[in-house]
Amino acid sequence: MFEIALTLGTVAAVVVALATVRTAPDLPLAGGLALLIVSGVVSPREAFEGFTNEGLVAVGVLYVVAEGLRQTGGVAFAGQRLLGTPGSLRSAQTRIVLPTAVMSAFMNNTPVVAMVIPVLTDWARKLELSVSRLLMPLSFAAILGGLCTLIGTRTTLVVNGLLEEATGKGLGMFDIAWVGVPATLVGLAYVLAFGSSLLPERRPPMTQFDDPREYSVEMLVDPKSPLVGKTIQEAGLRNLPGMYLVEIDRDGHVLAAVSSGERVEANDRLVFVGVVESVKDVQKIPGLVPATDQLFKLDAPRAERCLVEAVVSNTWPYVGQTIRDAKFRTRYNAAVIAVSRNGQQLRGKVGDIEMLPGDTLLLEAHPSFVELQRNSRDFYLVGLVDDSSPPRHEKAWIARLILAALVVVVALELLTMVKAALVAAAAMVLTRCCRGTEARRSIDWSVLLAMGAGLGIGKAMETSGAADVLAGGLLDVAGDNRSVALAVVYLVTMVFTNLITAKAAAVLFFPFAIATAGELGVSPMPFAIAVIVASAASFATPIGYQTNLMVYGPGGYRFSDYARFGAPLSLLVMAVSLVVIPLVWPFQ
């Protein structure tokens, strides 16, 4: 009884910490697991089994696949163009949840969410929408879509295997759709109806310390650019946050006050004005390159360069000279992209600008420039602009091909998800879609720690007998009423899948479901289906399902956000399931 009490107390403490303490979920979960290990409730071997879970490994490896797509611009620009420019928050959520639900029905929902998160984050920033109102709908739509087919979630496959062992008959590819499709339609309607009112809007606060520097940047349209022939609006050049297209220089003729209907032509010089974060966005648009000729004379390949800001000191030997006369590129192996003076952009040809002390230069250079010039008297300050390396657009087709192969191989069940993800990640590195250092840096270890610790706590619930005690007591209230028994099985599974994990809850409560059907003398199918849906439909906490954990940090969510928005959805899906299941799979 001591182990049961300690386990339940630890789980309660972890849930309270997640709900009240503003910290990443990995710390409370890891702390709870450590307590259970030290107290002897669960052995280290059993506790750490979660970290070898195939689903956890697949998530970690998929971060590398997503990094390859990000470094090449393989899905970001195309994804944002596909998502378009919605007129409202509800329209934005609709553009996210509908395709996500469809995709998740035919491929595991974990890679769907892993691939979409970076695209959605950039898209939200460009539209000036709070990402906290988009990522949870993404996760919930992926979970709901996964309920529609046998391969949508790993949990469904696990329970189907148990069902085949118990009854000798499993589910077909679309059998679960009888309950999954109605639940998905009702669930998505709820998400779209209440997503704007129940989800928090968390934006980074604007303070007096925000960067006020603006730059004037000229970008050249490559003749092979996919933007050629498109209007400014169609090319996505009108709605850039923090940046404005001022004019187009076309064969020496300046087009000022550019309209949204103006078409882009090859070799156009597009003049943008904006802050450095937006300069990064413009650099990532395929077919646009900085217009300065000095870029092509730098030693390092462009994919190995980044943006650097450097403030000219009063001891710079070339003060008062133009950038061209100072031979900046030759002396520093860096090209000046733009210049900011007193926080304001300087117009005109970059090479003709006379440099003064205090001018901030936006450079394209090799990252080693920062180390070489950090202590130089030529500059007051030298700083690297994070995540500013130009995408390797020439390799985008390779990254897309790798992603398509991953989807097809998993959908046809030629390889398991973890094997296919490992092959895809290796292909991304070998084809140089992303480098080894980038691959290592891309993995969010805090998410993996939280997932592994959550699985370990679930194992402790199982080995200590705490889950059996709770489940047995709850099932006793059902009596001989078949409908009540079905509701209790569903409710208990649903509660535990939110407290531990979907797979752990499914495996734990499937035997209870079969035993309950045997005691009542009825078909086990409705009870098995109830376990499948209840264990996969985890919305009320971030720890029950891995896609919820994946969006927890990037969305800036708190534990209570899931309870407020996800608990009503859990009850809606439960109501739909308890009505539909006995109709499709009768008790007799």
User: Amino acid letter at 258?
Assistant: V
Residues 6+ apart with CB under 8 A from 546: 55, 56, 59, 110, 451, 501
Segment (H or E) for 270 = strand 269-274
Q: What is the mean pLDDT of residues 195-223?
A: 70
Q: How many residues does the chain have?
A: 588
Q: Note the pLDDT tens digit of each residue in 122-171.
A: 778 777 788 889 999 999 999 999 898 876 777 777 777 778 777 777 78
Question: Which of these CATH numbers, 1.25.40.10, 3.30.70.1450, 3.90.1310.10, 3.20.20.220, describes 215-384?
Answer: 3.30.70.1450
Higher pLDDT: 161 or 88? It is 88
Bridge pairing between strands 379-384 and 344-345: unpaired
Residue 79 CA, chain-centre distance (Å), reads 13
A 10 A CB-CB count for 541 gives 26
Cα(500)–Cα(461) distance, rounded to whole angstroms? 8
Q: How far apart are the first and last CA of the chain?
A: 39
20-29, 167-176, 214-223, 442-451: least confident range: 20-29
Work out the pLDDT band at 205, boundaries 50, 70, 90: very low
Which of 40-54, 257-271, 522-536 reaches the highest mean pLDDT?
Answer: 522-536
What pLDDT is stored for residue 209 in this prediction?
Answer: 39
Work out the pLDDT band at 474, boundaries 50, 70, 90: low
Q: What is the mean pLDDT of residues 44-52?
A: 82
Which of 53-57, 314-318, 502-506, 530-534 reaches the highest mean pLDDT?
Answer: 530-534
Phi and psi, residue 101, nearest 5°: -65, -40
Residue (of 462, 463, 464) closest to 6 by Cα position: 464
Q: What is the mean pLDDT of residues 44-50?
A: 82
Cα(127)–Cα(95) distance, rounded to whole angstroms? 13
Residue (of 539, 541, 543, 546) closest to 570 by Cα position: 539
Q: What is the mean pLDDT of residues 246-258?
A: 80
Which of 56-65, 189-198, 471-480, 512-521 reaches the highest mean pLDDT?
Answer: 189-198
* Residues forming CATH 3.30.70.1450 domain(s) in the chain: 215-384
How far CA 23 is from CA of 18, 26, 441, in Å, comes to 8, 8, 22
Q: Note the pLDDT tens digit of each residue in 349-381.
A: 777 888 888 888 888 888 888 888 888 888 888
Segment (H or E) for 507 = helix 502-520
Work out the pLDDT band at 212, boundaries 50, 70, 90: low
Bridge pairing between strands 344-345 and 334-341: antiparallel
Higher pLDDT: 395 or 389? It is 395
Q: What is the mean pLDDT of the chain?
A: 80
User: Quick one: what percent of the chain has pLDDT higher than 70?
Assistant: 84
Residue (of 546, 526, 528, 540) closest to 570 by Cα position: 540
DSSP code for 343:
T
Cα(180)–Cα(581) distance, rounded to whole angstroms? 10
User: How many helical (H) and strand (E) elements, i.e. helices and strands, does the chain have?
Assistant: 23, 10
Work out the pLDDT band at 206, boundaries 50, 70, 90: very low
Cα(188)–Cα(387) distance, rounded to whole angstroms? 34
The answer, yes or no, to whether residue 73 has pLDDT greater than 80, is no
User: Amino acid letter at 103?
Assistant: M
Higher pLDDT: 296 or 106? It is 106
Strand, coil or helix: 148: coil
A 10 A CB-CB count for 244 gives 14
The answer, yes or no, to whether residue 191 has pLDDT greater than 90, is yes
Cα(503)–Cα(157) distance, rounded to whole angstroms? 10
Cα(306)–Cα(579) distance, rounded to whole angstroms? 58
SS3 content of the chain, % helix, strand, coil (to 5): 60, 10, 30
135-149, 282-296, 518-532: least confident range: 282-296
Cα(101)–Cα(412) distance, rounded to whole angstroms? 19
Q: Report yes or no: 525 and 484 within 8 Å, Cβ to Cβ.
A: no
Q: Report yes or no: 447 and 59 within 8 Å, Cβ to Cβ.
A: yes
Work out the pLDDT band at 75, boundaries 50, 70, 90: low
Q: What is the mean pLDDT of residues 223-233?
A: 84
Work out the pLDDT band at 208, boundaries 50, 70, 90: very low
DSSP code for 354:
B
Burial category of 374 from C-beta neighbours within 10 Å (exposed 0-12, middle 13-18, buried 19 and up)? exposed
246-255, 294-303, 443-452: least confident range: 294-303
Q: Report yes or no: 85 and 423 within 8 Å, Cβ to Cβ.
A: no
How far CA 153 is from CA of 106, 108, 533, 581, in Å, comes to 9, 5, 10, 19
Cα(325)–Cα(383) distance, rounded to whole angstroms? 24
Strand, coil or helix: 310: strand
What pLDDT is stored for residue 577 in this prediction?
Answer: 95
44-48, 224-228, 448-452, 465-469: least confident range: 465-469
What pLDDT is stored for residue 448 in this prediction?
Answer: 76
Higher pLDDT: 291 or 7? It is 7
